[in-house]
Amino acid sequence: MKVIVKKEEILKSLKKVQGISEKRTTMPILNNILLEAKDKITIKATNLDNSIISTSYGTIENTGSICIPSKKFFEIIKSLSGESITISQEEKNILIKSGKSSFKLFSQSPEDFPAIKKPSTDKKITLKRADFIKALNKVEYAIYPDESRLSLNGVYIHKINEKLRFVTSDSFRLCYYELPFEKEIENILISKKGTSEIIKIFSTEETDNLDISIEDNYASFESDGTTFITRLREVKFPNYVEVLPLNNPFKSYIDKSKILESLERLLVIAEESTKGVMFSIKQDIISIKGVNVELGEGEDEIDHIYDGESIDIGFNAQYLIEAISKAEADKIEMSIKDSNKAVLISGDENYKAVVMPIKI
């Protein structure tokens, strides 16, 4: 195998695969990428749950394939000063040359590299790439942080009322974001790791569309010569619709920037463990207080429009900041029932968030 590539071009592909190649694994082959030169140059990486196939442009002088240590190959390519790089195979070694620099890396047999299962594209759907990434960015913050609860450790995507809804929850909070959608799609649960890789890989692509295919508990996402394949969660996302507090009777209308500024200030003094702040909600005024038994306390007031009873209710300030900051409107609506029930935050037509209160 021998190929000649532009440094900038191959670096684009190598950056995408770094998050997929396993750094700690009992299968050393997963530390490698598979570089193939056939009718085109492709770079593949997998950790068995997530895989990527990225096309890189260049000149193919001899076809072939070889497994290369992912991290070291990336670091070597990044360090080279020349614009043109020649990559060739010499027995079981990979040779890298650019200008007066040359490197030799030991490699493994491409036959040991795991086959990547790619879903059939027969039933693919096409969405606007920017819209899909925006939806994931809106809800990623509320994913359950680890795999001890697999049913919450990801983004649940399903169709409802001619909308494609993206839902996440860590049991203390919940949020969803919707896109207009008239086609049919299977309900899917994309893992937290898969979600972060999709955002990272496709946020910088220049093409408008993202093709999505689903088959046998795998989903593929393809745009501009890059295909990402992820194993979907095989557990059922909880029936979240039943817990949405859609009938909370009292509405508070608040300037988004003012409440975020206030929460950021009080987060400085709030207890590290709970990040708790107490809301005293009255007509025209919300008083927000943060107390730290070791350091002191802080208090802030913001104006609002309110049609309900006076209520004292505690929140994790960080949870509120993350929920409110994702709303696009200048004013947000907080629907409240009492000091023990979740509040519903609305900032625009497509985004809703639910935050549970805490005892302070």
- Taking the model in full, what pTM does it have? 0.93
What pLDDT shows up at residue 102? 95
Candidates 82, 80, 78, 42; CA nearest to 60 is 42
What pLDDT shows up at residue 22? 72
> First vs last Cα of the chain: how many Å apart?
66
Residues linked to residue 155 through DSSP beta bridges, in sequence order? 190
What pLDDT shows up at residue 172? 96
Q: Can you tell me whether residue 329 is helix, strand or coil?
A: coil
- C-alpha 345/C-alpha 220 separation (Å) is 33
Ordered strands of the 209-215 beta sheet: 64-69, 32-37, 41-46, 50-56, 226-231, 218-223, 209-215, 125-128
What pLDDT shows up at residue 73? 96
Which structural domains are found in the chain, ordered by start?
2-112 (3.10.150.10), 125-241 (3.10.150.10), 245-355 (3.10.150.10)
Tokens at 272, concatenated: 């590290």
Per-residue pLDDT of the chain (360 residues; tens, 9 = 90+): 999 999 999 999 999 999 898 777 778 899 999 999 998 999 999 999 999 999 999 999 999 999 999 999 999 999 999 999 999 998 889 999 999 999 999 999 999 999 999 999 888 999 999 999 999 999 999 999 999 999 999 999 999 999 999 999 999 999 999 999 999 999 999 999 999 999 999 998 778 999 999 999 999 999 999 999 999 999 999 999 999 999 999 999 999 999 999 999 999 999 999 999 999 999 999 999 999 988 999 999 999 999 899 999 999 999 999 999 999 999 999 999 999 999 999 988 899 999 999 998
What pLDDT shows up at residue 25? 73
What pLDDT shows up at residue 328? 94
- C-alpha 271/C-alpha 293 separation (Å) is 8
What pLDDT shows up at residue 293? 85
Tokens at 358, concatenated: 């805490």
- C-alpha 272/C-alpha 287 separation (Å) is 21
Candidates 115, 114, 118, 116; CA nearest to 215 is 118
